[in-house]
Amino acid sequence: MHRGTAHLSHLSLWLLFTQALAELPMCKESDYHFEYTECDVLGSRWRVAVPNKAETCTGLPDPVKGTQCTFSCSEGEYLDMSTQECQKCAAGTYSLGTGVAFDEWDSLPTGFVTQGMNSNGGDAHTDCSNSTWRPTGDFVASNTDECMATLSYAVSLKKPGIVSFEYFYPDNSIYFEFFVQNDQCQSTEAGSRWMKISESSWTHHMVELNKGSNVLYWRTTSYALVGSAVKPVLLKNIAISGVAYTSECFHCKPGTYGAKPGSARCTPCPADTYSNKGATVCHQCEQEKYSEAGSGICKPRPACTNSDFFYTHTPCDSEGKTQLMYKWIDPKICSEAAEGAVKLPASGEKQTCPPCNPGFFVTNSSTCEACSDGFYSNGTACEKCPVGTEPVVGFEYKWWNTMPSNMKSSTYRREFSNTDHNTAWEVAGEYVYTTPGDQDTDYLMLTLNVPGYRLPQSVAEDNERSEKSRITFVFETRCSVDCKLYFLAGYNHWNNDVVEQWRGSNRKQSYTYLIQSNSTVSFTWTFQRTEEFSTDRKYSADVAKIYSIVITNAIGGVASRCHRCALSSATTTSACVPCPPGHYMLNGTGVCKSCPPNTFIRAEQAVGEASCVQCGPNTQTNTAYTACVSDCTLDLQLREGAPLRYDFSPLANVTGVHSSPRFTNKGLQYFQRFNVALCGKEGRVPATCVENVTASGREVRGYVCQSTVVPSDIRDQSVVSSQPFLIGDTLVGVTAETSLSNISSPNWLFPSSSGLPDVIFYYKSSETTQACKQGRSATIRLRCNPTVTVMDHITLPSNCSEGTCDGCTFHFLWQSQHACPLCTKNNYREIVSACVQGIQRTTYVWQQPLHCYRGESLPAQKVSACVSLDFWLKFGVSTGTVAAVLLITLICYFWKKTRKLQYKYSKLMMSSGGKECELPTADSCAIMEGEDAEDDLIDLTKTSFFTKIKSFSRERTSDGFDSVPLKSSSSRQHIEEDDSDEA
């Protein structure tokens, strides 16, 4: 039952569909178009009809076998899908045959995608949505901010093809790359992505494409972080071949025309003509209207004003006269017939020709020609340099009757125009000045090119002397608004760098730039009246004037004077030679004299004793006597204490430090990178800062340099470096003082609690700028810190995060153990141990806190024999005992002697008969016979010592004296008689 119901429902739907088709009209040729199916493995395909709008008609043609997939038409042809044959494009149209072209940029063509993004992953809230490629009519222009702008186009090729385009890339502060990504996500190698700076107005570029899917990328990022104007990259005439066929021809865009059928491209209309889209001819503008070349419309001619003409001078005639001429700015767009228009002033006023420039002479036809080699002139006649002198070669322009042959004037317009402007700068006798431009935003450029540089024969080559030449010019600007004058130097007038810029009105002044590379051969002065775009010329009266330009040591130059030089000692030649190293030349004599000790010769002056410059403290002159250097050692005598000796050799290698990161208003992160080469003698490696945004690779070398670094992944590099400049290329001196040669390094920049003084290296740069008229300088403080083992612990002042507080003097603090003085005997002390088992040890330790490193090492521990305390104690006791016995013996001896004397005295008293103060007269000085025996007898019959003491104590009289019984002679006689009776 259910199966029958299903069959009935299907039948009903089929009947309804058949009825609907029957109600649709039959398809006409305008209701459908033909397309090819995808190619199969055999390279075949089918042609099928596809309705332009679904379910609008019926009866489409049946599919038929199509052409082979490799089939293609020639340029100027298209594939007619109805007949599947190639047909020529009609007049007013064009075709690339096997490709597509994009030359109209009123809006972004179908298939192109542009987007802006943060270039280094900065703040996620940074808005780069408006930093994209902008179509501007004839071309598409890149962004000029620090966001990364990408323009992409995807195309599928049936066979290998080619992409070609024209680009204008004038500014090396923008990174511009082009690369292709295939269907396997493989991109062009990083090295070949790098687009070169444009040598002329437009550069043609072509890249081969592989079969299959290809995505084309054009990407730009600006790295100009100093607020200077950036010129965008311009792109036009993109053509891609290899799509196998094109089924239609493209109409010529307005301003171009195609006169013949089968054209591969359209021709631009000339000036004062116009054309509409698909035109076969260009139409002439009406009399009071004008148009630029390639324009699709004509504009009304404005009334002529004083800003529409300029004045110049004709070449001098045979009478030495020049005519003042007034000319309309070419192309002339103003109308003299309009109401209020001014007339061109009358020309032909004759004036006396200015002199020729120095180094030139006046010919019979009143023209100026250069003097021959070995000659000089002040602008009138050439004279040969005297013997013993050499010409001072260069270019000196101070009279402007005609534009010098090595100078060129041109105009660059941000909204680029094909019109060739040759009247950006014009000569005016005493100066060259800027003429009124088509627009106030135009860049009016004056370019000077030189072939190279060669030092005079009297100047010796030396690695320390980086100056090749110097250029000096005198200028003036008069502006009613914020105009700008840029001075640029580089390889050519498109591949150069901004050296200096001036804003607004500037009084007449001089500026000098030192040339340190042989590749710096192009100099450009660019004047812009305002950055605010307007079709009206409001500031045409704003003007820049250059009065004189002098460049020295230029190859192919001329001489304005000759100077004395030293002559070769060889008798066969009188050629000039340099004075020996360390010698200067006496004024006007050609005699060389030795400079005082430890001095060097000024690079710009080698005449007179004033050319000898004394080296700074703790520096020595190099072998060529052209600069002062340091061998990285230093002996420093303090007011108190022993002298300190330093050795900074471990810090001599080039070391880098960067400031804290900063961000632009678009979120681009950047920081300042400093490279430092502290010291070293001849052959040392200098610090180098480079610019790697473009292929020019400009670099500067010296003791201290700086560049602006942006983290990036372009060209597989971690950073992009730009805007390098020198901070110090000359070592001034090394000292512990906080100021030297007008360079100061205050202690408050880097407070220290150590009692050890910092050693300060002072540097300066010979380059001067508008802000730093005395040149830049740098100080590097070396502070002893034994705990710092790394070699690159360099910090910037905390209150001057960019390393400088005034923009001219840069300060660095370098802490390291290698910044400590060398250790001496005064830095350690000895510790003697106790005598243990006859061994005594002496150990040496550093005094704390330690403020030295390397130098003299700690002596090894000493071990010596010793005697212990027990021995000395025993020895002392024994010695004391012996001394006590000895003392007692002596006491006894002298006591005995005293008793004998007492006895003798008693006998004498007894012999005196009791008369006081009267002693018996001695019969003889000799001892009486038997006296000693008697004494001995007395001693033998005496009682003991202690008994006598007792008796003495009992016999002491009341007056305190001892009573000593004395024997008289009568008593002795009685005793003798008694003895005889007993016998």
Could you read off the pLDDT of 783-817 as tens digits, one per residue? 999 889 888 899 999 888 788 988 899 999 999 99
Residues contacting residue 348 through CB under 8 Å, at least 6 positions apart:
323, 324, 325
Q: Pick from 851, 788, 857, 858: which is nearest to 646 by CA?
A: 851
CB 239 within 8 A of CB 266: no
Q: Pick from 237, 251, 253, 267: which is nearest to 296 by CA?
A: 253
Residues contacting residue 724 through CB under 8 Å, at least 6 positions apart:
689, 690, 691, 698, 699, 700, 705, 706, 707
Q: Which parts of the chain have pLDDT scores under 50?
A: 1-8, 11, 13-18, 20, 122-124, 417-420, 571, 922-942, 945-946, 948-950, 952-983
Residues contacting residue 815 through CB under 8 Å, at least 6 positions apart:
783, 784, 785, 788, 793, 795
CB 709 within 8 A of CB 743: no
Q: Other C-beta atoms within 10 Å of 825: how many?
A: 11
CB 220 within 8 A of CB 228: no
Ranges of beta strands (E only) in 53-173 are 64-65, 77-80, 85-88, 93-94, 99-102, 112-117, 134-135, 140-141, 148-157, 161-168
Q: What confidence score (pLDDT) does residue 121 get?
A: 53
Q: What confidence score (pLDDT) does residue 478 get?
A: 94
CB 515 within 8 A of CB 489: yes
The CA distance from 271 to 255, in Å, is: 10
How far, rounded to the nearest angstrom, does the alpha carbon of residue 323 sit from its chain's CA centroid?
50
DSSP 320: S
Q: What confidence score (pLDDT) does residue 676 get?
A: 95
Ranges of beta strands (E only) in 282-404 are 283-284, 289-290, 299-300, 309-313, 321-328, 349-352, 360-362, 368-370, 375-376, 383-384, 389-397
CB 175 within 8 A of CB 261: no
In the chain, what is the greatest distance between 2 CA atoms, to the nearest angstrom?
A: 209
Q: What confidence score (pLDDT) does residue 533 get?
A: 72
How far, rounded to the nearest angstrom, does the alpha carbon of residue 909 sit from its chain's CA centroid?
120
Q: Other C-beta atoms within 10 Å of 882: how many?
A: 10
What are the pLDDT digits (tens) for 385-401? Answer: 888 788 889 999 999 98
The dihedral region occupied by 20, where left means phi > 0, alpha psi between -120 and 50, and beta the remainder, is alpha
Residues contacting residue 501 through CB under 8 Å, at least 6 positions apart:
228, 484, 485, 486, 487, 770
The CA distance from 162 to 655, in Å, is: 47
To 10 degrees, what angle do helices 869-911 and 931-941 make? Answer: 120
Q: Reduced to 3 states, what is the DSSP secondary structure of residue 749?
A: helix
Phi, psi angle pair for 838, to nearest 5°: 80, 10
Burial 231-251 (b: 16+ CB within 10 A, else e): bbbbbbbbbbbbbbbbeebbb
Q: What confidence score (pLDDT) does residue 972 get?
A: 44
Q: Report the alpha-carbon angle 649-651-654, nearest 5.
A: 115
The CA distance from 731 to 271, in Å, is: 60
Q: Pick from 817, 741, 749: which is nearest to 781 by CA?
A: 749
The CA distance from 324 to 31, in Å, is: 71
Burial 826-835 (b: 16+ CB within 10 A, else e): ebbeeeeeeb
Q: Token pair of 412, please? A: 């660059």
Rounded to a whole number of angstroms, the CA Rg of the chain reads 54
Q: Locate all alpha helices (DSSP H) within 270-408, ordered by sequence.
A: none
The CA distance from 347 to 312, in Å, is: 10
The DSSP H or E segment spanning 180 is strand 174-182
The CA distance from 290 to 301, in Å, is: 6
Q: Is 395 exposed, middle or buried (0-12, 13-18, 19+ CB in 10 A)?
A: buried
CB 707 within 8 A of CB 723: yes
pTM exceeds 0.95: no
Q: What confidence score (pLDDT) does residue 258 get?
A: 93
Characterize the bridge pairing of strands 809-816 and 777-784: parallel
The CA distance from 139 to 102, in Å, is: 9
The CA distance from 254 to 279, in Å, is: 8
The CA distance from 710 to 717, in Å, is: 11
Q: Other C-beta atoms within 10 Å of 11: how many?
A: 10
Residue with tokens 């960019």: 802
Q: Token pair of 306, please? A: 């004083």
